[in-house]
Amino acid sequence: MRRDIEFDAEGVTLRGWLYLPDEARGSVPTIVMAHGFSAVKEMYLDSYAEVFADAGLGALVFDNRNFGASDGEMRQEIDPWAQVRDYRHAITYARSLPEVDGERIGVWGSSYSGGHVLVLGAIDRRIKCVVSQVPLVSGHENFRALVRRDLIAPTLKMFEEDREARYAGKEPARIAVVAEDPSQTPCALPTSDSWEWFTQTAESRAPAWRNEVTLRSVELFTEYEPGSYVQWVSPTPLMMVVAAGDHLTPADLALAAYEKALEPKELVLLPGGHFDAYVEDFEAASGAACEWFVEHLIEG
């Protein structure tokens, strides 16, 4: 069972869906979920929420501010710390609902929001279980893994020029999220699988998705270090789902972060790449997450 929801995030209305088990009686443990860099909820979050609901869990899925059905200005801008705060607003809203057991809240995030839930697990003890899928763990290191060495200085120069232009009153510069040929068209996520997944998924599932973010969003990405919080998630149970072939949020960075996490924790290693977690490896990724939530929110 799914219904539309909206809630206030300190003056900005965020919108999404609330999934509940068909046979729900009383309040249920609930997972709070949002998507990664520029993605909207129609890009497979409904599929994960349905798996959770079938297992007896609620799922509150929302679009990040400035994207999709949610309000917010400026449009297409991603501030990771604003998104972390919005998860916390979503948790507060979820706890106000009679259908939700506010003492059994889990969080799920993927890619950029996979980093957010590491931060959340460390700082918000209302959260009783965390699943971090193919997470960004270090914006600084990830930036250097994605951007060719000779292009790092020109990219930093773009950030500086945009900052000075904004100070002079000009509109923030914008950049594509993905490009078929990143060597010809600068973009935020310069990998071939990023281009394929975003364009194909937008065509088939999310026609409202826009291939554009502010350049400032990319600069903020380079400053974001969610992996620095991973050791503080404990004693909240943490599952990290890592794709062995991930070169967008490199697997070696995620695995190194996992080693720093304290117990209780569990690692799930998928065979494919970053976006296979939503498609080819969906059953393994969603199944493992579901079992973790059931263990710690229903059975625990």
Rounded Cα gap, residues 249 and 71, in angstroms: 28
Among residues 104, 214, 231, which one has the least CA distance to residue 159?
214
Domain parsing of the chain, residue ranges: 2-138+225-299
pLDDT tens digits for 150-189?
889 999 999 999 999 999 999 999 999 999 999 899 999 9
- Give me the phi and psi of 56, to 5 degrees please: 95, 10
Q: Would you say domain 2-138+225-299 falls under CATH 3.40.50.1820?
A: yes
pLDDT tens digits for 48-100?
999 999 999 999 999 999 999 999 999 999 999 999 999 999 999 999 999 99
With the C-alpha atoms ordered 280, 283, 284, 288, is the resulting torsion angle positive or negative? positive
pLDDT at 23: 83
DSSP letters spanning 83-149: HHHHHHHHHHHHHTSTTEEEEEEEEEEETHHHHHHHHHHHH-TTEEEEEEES----HHHHHHHHS-H
CB atoms within 10 A of CB 10: 8
Identity of residue 243: A
Query: Once rounded to an integer, what is the mean pLDDT over residues 269-282?
Result: 98
Q: Residue 126 — very low, low, confident or very high, per pLDDT cuts 50/70/90?
A: very high
pLDDT at 267 over 90: yes
